[in-house]
Structure 1
């Protein structure tokens, strides 16, 4: 029950923000950084002073999880109300006025239900938690929050051993420009129609076998029909899979997750269920079959496999080109309370990465030889660039990741120079390390 250094630092920054007159700070910290224990620690400090805490969640599955965390952390639950936003907003007059309102997944806080609760308790201080402080339509959180408290980056958490390093594959680039958008998200029916293409479905099985055969995976689908079909496809290929969704009875869902925990199920197929805050056992692979315009959803799903485990390298298989809209999960992003310019939450820019045609590994555009399989990029590169340029026209892409953290992990000078850039070192450091490792004669 010891907080990590960066967790203590974030909590202290929130306290300092209150002392400086801020009333509604928002902690921005990546998935897997331990937001639950930070929430528990803030609640413990508040309830120790007999101050009431109202903790808001947007899904019923999260209530029991956070209650268990509070009990484990020693929070005085006599002074805590854990409630779904949809419930609290209907019984405001019956809710004991809180001194502190904590909002989980704070990027939802601009919804009218949240704002109604905040307005009803004007004397309460607020604190929010999110990995992505931005609305789906690009709007900032300045209407609710008055300060962002920025936590460590994904790259730092990987380097410190708090998150697993990862490899990102995008075997299919799909043109989402033809999809209709409703309320800021792709229309589910159009997504399912697009996945009628059998070649795409076949690639899901092929690339799982090639990139993560026998390892546990969570497969994110665009609809129940698609998720059930993927369950069938995996099982027909002797890969034990199971579908669950929000309508699956809780007892059945719990049983499926327990089997997944024991390794009896290899692939867990779902539709957005195992995303924000949902507690599932550690897995090695995330399979993305759902094109999305939501950065929050993309981050939650792509990073699901990145929980740290000794010797583990997470595998992210992106069949829908989400990396083309948002970049890799470890991309450093500049957050602001102000809305982004334009209608999107991203900025268009040149695509800085390309795919290996042999193994589909994502590499920087200037790489000549794939560090994963040794494929030499040649004349075929132009064809790949044309496909990727179409993707850039749909949305933005930025970021590139490696799964090495120290010089000894690198296979060549290109990886050493990338590692130097990642750590903020000068190229001379990479050159010196290359001489030590025998890469430079």
Structure 2
């Protein structure tokens, strides 16, 4: 029997189908982590293959293929009409790839990379469909060059309130050392001193003690800034009698499966990694996330911070942020307004440029040391991170950043939306009035 979708999932499918009827060619479905993206994708693929049409399903990491293939099989998708392919492989074998009637891109925020666009250009007359939790590139660009409409229905806060995701508690350090802040002539903290205070390469707090204090005995995933740091973290937990294991892109498949099974069986409590447990990676339910890797990537932050929020009655997820990522990006369920347009960093959530792995051509954040796709090691830049084990983490109950609003005035369809945009950017209401006059919303 095909899956029975939740009402909000049915609505997303309905909106997607309607977008094609309205003339759009490349919609992107925005679904928060935990919204059941793979179920929605499989339902659209099922309806497509039921009509005898071929589907090309693109992923950026090999291990994701078996996961989505299993979901498709359970939802009665005709797999004889589906081609699952790594984007790096398909982009090199376009002439040998049967023409599909629909291209589905998983983790669609990667879609601006050259390898994806090569496929899109080759099959330029084929409708496309993307899925992502964060429709923004790592350099801050919107997806307007590859998508023509964003389809949204629910956000993370709604999923928590309606028991599709677990509630959470978030712990982080006070990131800025106020002793280093200096006043300028206007009696404000100077931008230089603020930047220096915030850019120290530190991991705040004793990792073992905070785990014992905040989540003792819980299954936890730790995200580290390098393979070496991940191995050291696992070793530190083991040395304190807390069973831990490390995973990276070079971990053999059989060993990886054995480690994950041990984690599922609660024989291992701590799973340490860099980026391997990220987008689309299926891991057993856990309740705790330990962040030891600072990132300016909003996409990466949301994927990692929400990894422990799979719903279970009575469960509260614990997020232990030792690097202050929350000060850059806000809380995981903050309200965010998306746009297809390119954003400037000042609007919040913009991200560092990417680099491309010379081995498998995967696009990764510029600070990545080991490619999560193939394990290729990049040259180390900028040294290691210091540790301030004396720092205490505090619970964060309110977002330290303003509402993240990626929209431009042209995205707003009413005066209310313009006033909201002005408020979120810290502008005066007169700015909204001027924009409304310019856009013809008022005479």
TM-score normalized by the length of structure 1: 0.74
Q: Distance in 1 between matches of 2:262 and 2:402?
A: 37
| Counterpart secondary structure, 2:119 | helix
CA contact (8 A) 2:103 2:128 kept: yes
Give the match for residue 16 of structure 2.
14
Cα separation, partners in 2 of 1:50 and 1:107, compared to 1, 3 Å: same
Cα separation, partners in 2 of 1:264 and 1:33, compared to 1, 3 Å: same
Of 300, 305, 309 in structure 1, the residue corresponding to residue 308 of structure 2 is: 305
* Shift of residue 194, structure 1, vs aligned partner: 3.9
Of 283, 292, 296 in structure 2, the residue corresponding to residue 293 of structure 1 is: 296
Q: Distance in 2 between matches of 1:108 and 1:358?
A: 36
Of 66, 70, 73 in structure 1, the residue corresponding to residue 72 of structure 2 is: 70
* Shift of residue 343, structure 1, vs aligned partner: 7.0
| Counterpart secondary structure, 1:66 | helix
Give the match for residue 243 of structure 2.
240
Q: Distance in 1 between matches of 2:163 and 2:282?
A: 20
Structure 1: unaligned runs, 5 residues or longer: 176-192, 348-356, 366-391, 400-441
Cα separation, partners in 2 of 1:174 and 1:51, compared to 1, 3 Å: farther
Give the match for residue 106 of structure 1.
108
| Counterpart secondary structure, 2:95 | helix
CA contact (8 A) 1:137 1:344 kept: no
* Shift of residue 137, structure 1, vs aligned partner: 1.2
- String of CA shifts for 1:274-299, please: whole Å, max 9, x gaps: 01000000001000011001111000
CA contact (8 A) 2:59 2:87 kept: yes
Give the match for residue 263 of structure 2.
260
Q: Distance in 1 between matches of 2:236 and 2:345?
A: 41
Cα separation, partners in 2 of 1:165 and 1:221, compared to 1, 3 Å: same
Give the match for residue 397 of structure 2.
363
- String of CA shifts for 1:50-80, please: whole Å, max 9, x gaps: 1000000000010100111111110000100
Give the match for residue 4 of structure 2.
2
Q: Distance in 1 between matches of 2:277 and 2:268?
A: 15
- String of CA shifts for 1:384-434, please: whole Å, max 9, x gaps: xxxxxxxx8xxx5659xxxxxxxxxxxxxxxxxxxxxxxxxxxxxxxxxxx
More helix by share: 1
| Counterpart secondary structure, 2:61 | coil
Give the match for residue 184 of structure 1.
none
CA contact (8 A) 1:27 1:129 kept: yes
Q: How does 1:401-412 map to 2 (within 5 A)?
A: none
Q: Distance in 2 between matches of 1:29 and 1:358?
A: 34
CA contact (8 A) 1:138 1:344 kept: no
Give the match for residue 329 of structure 2.
326
* Shift of residue 171, structure 1, vs aligned partner: 3.4
CA contact (8 A) 1:24 1:146 kept: yes
CA contact (8 A) 1:55 1:101 kept: yes
Cα separation, partners in 2 of 1:241 and 1:107, compared to 1, 3 Å: same
Matched, 1:142 2:176: no
| Counterpart secondary structure, 1:26 | strand
* Shift of residue 342, structure 1, vs aligned partner: 4.2
Give the match for residue 23 of structure 1.
25
Q: Distance in 2 between matches of 1:254 and 1:172?
A: 38
Cα separation, partners in 2 of 1:358 and 1:398, compared to 1, 3 Å: farther
Q: Distance in 1 between matches of 2:393 and 2:297?
A: 28
- String of CA shifts for 1:328-353, please: whole Å, max 9, x gaps: 00001000001113477538xxxxxx
How many aligned positions are there? Answer: 342
* Shift of residue 159, structure 1, vs aligned partner: 1.0
CA contact (8 A) 2:167 2:309 kept: yes
* Shift of residue 174, structure 1, vs aligned partner: 7.0
CA contact (8 A) 2:225 2:292 kept: yes
Cα separation, partners in 2 of 1:358 and 1:220, compared to 1, 3 Å: closer
Q: Distance in 1 between matches of 2:134 and 2:55?
A: 23
Cα separation, partners in 2 of 1:91 and 1:358, compared to 1, 3 Å: closer
Q: C-alpha root-mean-square deviation of aligned residues, in Å?
A: 2.1
Q: Distance in 1 between matches of 2:25 and 2:108?
A: 15
* Shift of residue 322, structure 1, vs aligned partner: 0.5
Give the match for residue 281 of structure 1.
284
Of 76, 87, 90 in structure 2, the residue corresponding to residue 88 of structure 1 is: 90
TM-score normalized by the length of structure 2: 0.74
Cα separation, partners in 2 of 1:174 and 1:66, compared to 1, 3 Å: farther
* Shift of residue 160, structure 1, vs aligned partner: 1.0
List structure 1 segments (4+ residues) > 3 angstroms apart after TM superposition: 342-345, 396-399
Q: Distance in 2 between matches of 1:86 and 1:330?
A: 33
| Counterpart secondary structure, 1:305 | coil
Q: Distance in 2 between matches of 1:66 and 1:287?
A: 27
Give the match for residue 190 of structure 1.
none
Q: Distance in 2 between matches of 1:30 and 1:98?
A: 27
